[in-house]
Amino acid sequence: MKKFLNSTDDFLKESLQGFGAAHKDIISCHYNPNIITRSKATKKGKVVIISGGGSGHEPMHGGFVGYGMLDAACPGFVFSSPSPDQMIAASEKVEGGAGILFIVKNYSGDIMNFQMASEMITGASETVLINDDVAVEDSSYTTGRRGVAATVIVEKIVGSLAETGGSLKECKILGDKVNRNSGSMGVAFSSCTVPAAGKPTFKLGPDEMEFGVGIHGEPGRRRDKVQPAQEITNELLGAIIEDLKLENNGEILLFVNGMGGTPLTELYLLYDNAKKTLDNKNIKIARSLVGNYCTSLEMQGASLTITKLDQELKKHWDSPVHTAAMRWGL
C-alpha cells in the first residue's frame, strides 16, 4: 500500500485537521467525536441538514458543509458508518430550533447508527434515506438498494430549500422526491485499498472491470472484460433509464462522478458518450455535474447518475452554494 500517511491510526485525524485548516473560512472540524460544522453559527429558525457516513468518499460529505448545503457532517472511519455520539454532538452544535434532517445512505450500519442517534436526541428529526444504486435489485424484504452518488444531488437541493426557509417536513418531502427521481450505476477498473487493511479490497484482472460496483468496492452485477466507453455508458444509462422510466423530452441532471482515481479527461469523455445516447433518446440534459464527488478512495472507475428535474429542483440546484467542494453564485 502506497499512501500519503504517517500511521493508519492517525490517517483520519490528520486528514481532517488539514481539511479544517485549509477551509477555515467555510467549516470547522471538531474532534472526539469527529464532526465538521459550518464555521458560522446556524441562523435561528433554520432546519439543519446533517449527513455523514464512512470516510473514504471525499469530498462527500465534509466537502459539502457550508452555505446552501449541509450544516454538519459526521465522518466515520474509512468505510464505516459514524457512531451515534457524532450525530448527537453535531445536532447540539448546529441546532437552529426548527428540527434536524438527517441524510443517510442506505446501509445497515448507517441506518442503525443514525436511528440510535435520532432516538437519543431531544428535538424533532426526520431522515431521508438515499438508495439510488440501480445495480442492486430493490426489494422491501431485504436491505434494498445502496445509496451512492445521488446523495450529492440530494444534499445540494435539500440544502437550498433549508437555506431558503423550508420547514422540516418540506425538506423531508423534497429529499425523498430527489432520491426517488434519481438513479445511479458505476463501474470500477481497479480496487481501492482501505488504509487499515493495507491491501486492495478486491482484485481485478488486467482487462477486467466490475460492473455495478458499490462505493466501498462491493461487488456489482458482474465481472466482465473492459468494454469501450460508449458501450459501458449505454449499459449504465440503460439500467438507469429503465429504472427511472424516463420519458422522451424529459429534462434531467446528468452527473458523471469519478471514483477517485480516474482523470477528468475520461469523465468528460463519458459525459460526451452519455450525451450522445441521451440526445438519441430525446432526453434533455438541463443541468450537469462532472467530477470526483462521491469517491471510493483511489479507485479507478466512474458512475453515472441521472436526476429527473422539474422547476423546483432546477431552482434549488441553481441557487448559491459555498462549500469546500461545490461553490457557485457566491
Which residues are catalytically annotated?
57, 216
Contact assessment for residue 212 and residue 185, using Cβ atoms and an 8 Å cutoff: yes
Find which of ligand ADP, its own copies, Mg ion, none residue 300 binds, CB within 5 to 8 Å per kind.
its own copies
Distance from C-alpha of 309 to C-alpha of 132, rounded to nearest angstrom: 15
Q: Please, which of residues 101-130 interact with ligand ADP by CB under 6 A?
A: 107-109
Q: Which partner, Mg ion, another protein, its own copies, none, binds residue 11 by CB below 5 to 8 Å per kind?
A: its own copies
Is position 145 an interface residue for another protein (rule: CB under 8 A)? yes
Look at residue 276 and give its three-state secondary structure.
helix
Residue 304 DSSP code: E
Does residue 26 contact residue 323 with C-beta atoms inside 8 Å? yes
Contact 266, 302 (CB under 8 A): yes
Q: Which residues contact 248 (CB under 8 A, 6 or more apart)?
A: 281, 282, 283
State which residue, 42 or 125, has the beta carbon closest to another protein.
Answer: 125
Q: Residue 20 CB, nearest distance to its own copies (Å)?
A: 9
> 14 to each of 11, 20, 46, 76, 84, how far by Cα in Å?
6, 10, 32, 14, 22
By CB under 8 A, is residue 5 in contact with another protein? no
Minimum distance of another protein from residue 140's CB (angstroms): 11
Shortest gap between Cβ of 327 and its own copies (angstroms)?
Answer: 6
- Rounded Cα distance, 196 and 184, in Å: 28
Interaction pattern, residues 183-212, with another protein; x per rule: CB under 8 A: -----------x-xx---xx----------
Residue 146 binds to Mg ion (criterion: CB under 5 A) = no
- Report the sign of the C-alpha dihedral through residues 287, 292, 295, 300, in that order: positive
Task: Give min distance, CB of 78 to another protein, in A.
Answer: 7
From ligand ADP, Mg ion, its own copies, none, interface partner of 86 (C-beta below 5 to 8 A by class): none
CB of 145 to another protein, least distance (A): 8
80 binds Mg ion (CB under 5 A): yes
The 47-76 contact track toward its own copies, x by CB under 8 A, reads --------xx-xx---x-------------
Residue 85 is a binding residue for its own copies (CB under 8 A): no
* Residues numbered 88-107 forming contacts with another protein, rule: CB under 8 A: 107
Q: What is the phi/psi pair of residue 177, to 5°?
A: -65, -45
SS3 268: helix
Within 187-206, which residues bind its own copies (CB under 8 A)?
189-190, 206
Residues 6+ apart with CB under 8 A from 128: 101, 102, 103, 104, 154, 158, 171, 172, 175, 176, 179
Nearest-angstrom CA–CA distance, 251 and 286: 6
First-last CA distance in the chain: 40
The residues of the shown chain that bind another protein, judged by CB under 8 A, are: 33, 54, 76-86, 107-109, 112-113, 115-116, 133, 136-137, 139, 141-143, 145-146, 194, 196-197, 201-202, 214, 216-219
The residues of the shown chain that bind its own copies, judged by CB under 8 A, are: 2-7, 11-12, 14-19, 21-23, 55-56, 58-59, 63, 189-190, 206-207, 209, 226, 228-230, 232, 256, 260-273, 275, 285, 288, 290, 292, 295, 297-298, 300, 302, 327-330
